[in-house]
Structure 1
């Protein structure tokens, strides 16, 4: 395998070993041979280090750390998707062995596209899909066959291609209005907590999902938690609703930050130059007086940013 380049972006600190990033990953990593260095001007305070390759070595092409967060910068979205698949498969393997189940939360947008390598060799045949329980961090209150449905997007690009039991895929009740759909989804979560399908945070008492896969909007929103909206301050509910989303469709349900931040692992997957500003703000370099929603993502466990070079261009 050709060697790759690792970009350690200031002001982040160098990653050390972490229990969620196995030293001897179960699944092999295949990295594209194409590599385009970021310019010295873009990464004026960066250190460029030649990466290592070979069996049993780290799967990451770039890593850095800021507090609990680690940043991984890829030359392309294709390279990002390769590493994201491996990261997800390794966590699924870890939790499945530890507790017999794997609870994963999906978002909409381009996230499903970035998961496409999971439905290919070696993962589609090697992953123990029987242990998976699938949830959504937010959903548009539309029928499941509507083009705006996150469920439809996930089904077409991912769920229909892997043997996850349909009874372990927890979509919203789209026959209910937004408020009712949010209450119903929270009731579902409470039932699964009581039956020990979903773990509980010892610190907060709210659901603790094994992995939450988040995207981010160009305005810095995550889930359906938008800049300046009162819902970003919601602390009591696990699932709430919005009827005035600044991004259509207006009616949605969404996990709140207490649930998001109780996660054991969060992957923030961000691609494109149009999102470079919020990424820069989240790194601590922004000038916003009020934090963007993405800046409020701070899980109890591990946070890993998966960025393509365009999303990282302002770091």
Structure 2
């Protein structure tokens, strides 16, 4: 388990946050392309796609370092709901509407990995999870040669109960060690059927970033960062497993009253 501390950044507004999130993501992109000529990133839903769009669709300053090279992006989903791809609850639909359809042609088109739409109506989402894991295997190598897929960057949200991806407090999935992708049949937050990356996959990424905004997050942020009781929350487990690979991008209202030291810039 990692012993180093995560980085907690706080900004006066969501716009200011997005301006700082952009260079963070592009540094991860450029390092990944230098390593293996592709940028493998996993994203969550919620408010995250909107913030990503603000960060990434701003005009470049003209340098290679400040330019999203979307043609080299492989975008996966940190979790997804077992619904059709055009359903209101679909994280794919949200990302498509907020970001994918707005990418200028000259920046290229990312390769996007949605769930298999033919299996979203199955009674058990396990087949959906298995198929998504197979997709990961094709991108990251056969599972017998790679214990875990190592994402270049995973972008996460944090729910008001401390959940992240579709990993919920006190759930058995938090103890899953072997699967890359797990099925959830009874999510405490609707819709009930989902798939999710497992905790070992999340904490193995090169870089992990949370985006958490709004005063509605301040109580759970206090629990995650300041309380012993909060150490078992899924988002806190990512902090513990990822250590200083984890960066939190927040606005001031989200961490009002949080004692953990925060920074105002990268």
Contact 1:278 1:292 in 2 (8 A): no
> Do the aligned partners of residues 156 and 275 (structure 1) sit closer, same or farther apart at CA in structure 2, a change above 3 Å counting?
same
Structure-2 residue corresponding to 1:188 = 135
Contact 2:223 2:230 in 1 (8 A): no
Structure-1 residue corresponding to 2:264 = none
Structure-2 residue corresponding to 1:138 = 79
Q: Does 1:169 align with 2:106?
A: no
Contact 1:282 1:294 in 2 (8 A): yes
Contact 1:139 1:149 in 2 (8 A): yes
Structure 1 regions of 5+ residues with no counterpart?
1-65
Contact 2:81 2:193 in 1 (8 A): yes
Q: Deviations over 1:261-310 (max 9, x none)?
A: 11000001111111112222222x22527611111102276111111101
How much does 1:76 deviate? Answer: 0.9
Structure-2 residue corresponding to 1:45 = none
- Cα distance between partner residues in 2 of 1:90 and 1:245: 35
> Do the aligned partners of residues 250 and 314 (structure 1) sit closer, same or farther apart at CA in structure 2, a change above 3 Å counting?
same
Q: Does 1:149 align with 2:87?
A: no
Q: For 1:107, which of 35, 39, 44 is the aligned residue?
A: 44
Q: What RMSD over aligned residues (CA atoms) do the two structures have, in Å?
A: 2.2
For residue 174 of structure 2, give the secondary structure of its aligned residue in structure 1: helix
Structure-2 residue corresponding to 1:245 = 187
- Cα distance between partner residues in 2 of 1:289 and 1:129: 37
- Cα distance between partner residues in 2 of 1:195 and 1:288: 39
Q: Does 1:305 align with 2:248?
A: yes
Q: Does 1:118 align with 2:56?
A: yes
Structure-2 residue corresponding to 1:275 = 217
Structure 2 regions of 5+ residues with no counterpart?
259-266
Q: Which structure carries more helix by proportion?
A: 2
TM-score (norm 2): 0.85
> Do the aligned partners of residues 173 and 83 (structure 1) sit closer, same or farther apart at CA in structure 2, a change above 3 Å counting?
same
The 10-residue stretch of structure 1 (261-270 or 227-236) with the greater mean CA deviation from structure 2: 227-236
Larger RCO (CA under 8 A, 6+ residues apart): 2
- Cα distance between partner residues in 2 of 1:78 and 1:301: 24
Q: Deviations over 1:235-282 (max 9, x none)?
A: 111101111101010100000001001100000111111111222222
> Do the aligned partners of residues 259 and 300 (structure 1) sit closer, same or farther apart at CA in structure 2, a change above 3 Å counting?
farther
How much does 1:233 deviate? Answer: 1.2
Contact 2:6 2:243 in 1 (8 A): no
- Cα distance between partner residues in 1 of 2:68 and 2:167: 32
Contact 2:207 2:245 in 1 (8 A): yes
- Cα distance between partner residues in 1 of 2:16 and 2:44: 20
Structure-2 residue corresponding to 1:57 = none
Corresponding pairs, count: 242
Q: Does 1:234 align with 2:181?
A: no
- Cα distance between partner residues in 2 of 1:84 and 1:307: 10
Q: For 1:265, which of 207, 212, 218 is the aligned residue?
A: 207
Structure-to-structure mapping, 1:45-56, within 5 angstroms: none
